[in-house]
Structure 1
Amino acid sequence: MSEIIDECLRRLDQSLGYLEQALGGLSEEQVWYRPRPKMNAIGNLCLHIAGSEYQHLVSGIGGRPFKRNRPDEFLTRSGYSPEELLGQLREVREESREVVRALTQDDLERGVTIRHTAEAGMNDYTWSIQKILIGATEHYSYHTGQIVYAAKLLQDTDRHLLNWKHYD
């Protein structure tokens, strides 16, 4: 396996670990809380990154059937507990890990077309597998940061969720 493949998997797994810590202390009501009506809840962001990871890594690179309803990721208002959301994220990760670990250095330059449904309002595009891996990892990390920050705002203590040293 190449260094870029190893590093993308490491960072995706690291972000999933952060999500496990962040969601572990939240109630179902908290994961669906929206500070304002047009803002996403933590639950929406979890559905979104699971859908995006599946679309790009499992379906796009892995060639497995496309199954994503992107608008529903943002329109959903409840119905999943923190444990169910984490279960979805873990399930997708296992599928994507299987796909990504099978890649070779030569695969990284191969172009793959990422398809979108009409209701997603996005155009299809073709990128190299390397660019898809980097983009998917960055996207996942970006939303992980949003989720961790929102979870900190919702928690009842001043405990640092990721156990990093912060100075008061």
Structure 2
Amino acid sequence: MLIETLKVLFERDLDKLIHEIELYQKEDNIWITDKEISNSAGNLCLHLIGNLNTYIGATIGGTNYVRDRELEFSLKKIPRQELLASIKETKQVIDQSLNMITEAQLNAEYPLLVLEKKTSTMFFLVHLTTHLSYHLGQINYHRRLLDF
């Protein structure tokens, strides 16, 4: 049951991410930073894509995704359509990966040490949903503050 809930939450919030990126009136504004806002919506989007493809796609789903976290925050001016396509691909990877997970894997220790201490896969997947929501909120505020 938890897996189905997680799939619904990831799909919902990734759909919201798509919507937020589409709502920017000016495509260049996706990449704006200003004053104390050090991460653009585009870089936060790349960060979420990298995060989910690493911790769900590669680790749980066995994809060959290789993350370059530094690029998530240094790349600029990726076209909107490319960002949207990457989000859609990530949605598919998450769905396929979560379809593969067993109850035993869900309750087992997550294979990587990511947080301060080892956690169950279940705990870490819930953590990933909150991480997505956190940055989604930042992107929403970024758009409303800087898309003029």
**For this structure pair, what is the TM-score category when the shorter chain's length is used for normalisation?**
0.7 to 0.9
* Root mean square deviation of aligned Cα: 2.2
Q: 1:133 is matched with which residue?
A: 125
**Matched residues, percent identical?**
27
In the alignment, is the contact (CA less than 8 A) between 2:18 and 2:84 conserved in 1?
yes
In the alignment, is the contact (CA less than 8 A) between 2:61 and 2:100 conserved in 1?
no
In 2, Cα distance between the equivalents of 1:5 and 1:62? 14
Q: 2:112 is matched with which residue?
A: 114
What runs of 5+ residues in structure 2 fail to find an aligned partner?
none
In the alignment, is the contact (CA less than 8 A) between 1:59 and 1:65 conserved in 2?
yes
Distance 1:55-1:126 versus aligned 2 partners, 3 A rule: farther
Q: Which amino acid aligns with 1:59?
A: A
Once the two structures are TM-superposed, the CA of residue 92 in structure 1 deviates from its matched residue by 1.4
Q: 1:153 is matched with which residue?
A: 145
Higher mean C-alpha deviation, range 135-144 or range 101-110: 101-110
Q: Which amino acid aligns with 1:136?
A: L
Which structure dedicates a bigger proportion of its chain to strand?
A: 1
Distance 1:112-1:76 versus aligned 2 partners, 3 A rule: same
**For each residue in 1:29-57, what CA deviation from the matched residue of structure 2 results, as whole angstroms up to 9, or x when unmatched?**
11111113870000000000000001110
In the alignment, is the contact (CA less than 8 A) between 2:52 and 2:94 conserved in 1?
yes
Q: Which amino acid aligns with 2:144?
A: K
TM-score (norm 2): 0.87
Q: Which amino acid aligns with 1:19?
A: L
Q: Which amino acid aligns with 1:50?
A: I
Q: 2:10 is matched with which residue?
A: 12
Deviant stretches of 4+, over 6 Å: 122-125
Aligned positions of 1:82-121 closer than 5 A: 82-114=80-112
Once the two structures are TM-superposed, the CA of residue 8 in structure 1 deviates from its matched residue by 1.2
Q: Which amino acid aligns with 1:95?
A: V
In 1, Cα distance between the equivalents of 2:134 and 2:31? 19
Distance 1:66-1:111 versus aligned 2 partners, 3 A rule: farther
In 1, Cα distance between the equivalents of 2:94 and 2:19? 21
What runs of 5+ residues in structure 1 fail to find an aligned partner?
116-121, 157-168
Q: 2:45 is matched with which residue?
A: 46
Size of the alignment, in residue pairs?
147
Q: Which amino acid aligns with 2:34?
A: P
Distance 1:22-1:140 versus aligned 2 partners, 3 A rule: same
Distance 1:82-1:66 versus aligned 2 partners, 3 A rule: closer
Which structure dedicates a bigger proportion of its chain to helix?
A: 2
SS class of match (1:43): helix
Q: Which has the larger radius of gyration?
A: 1
Once the two structures are TM-superposed, the CA of residue 126 in structure 1 deviates from its matched residue by 4.3
In 1, Cα distance between the equivalents of 2:60 and 2:97? 7
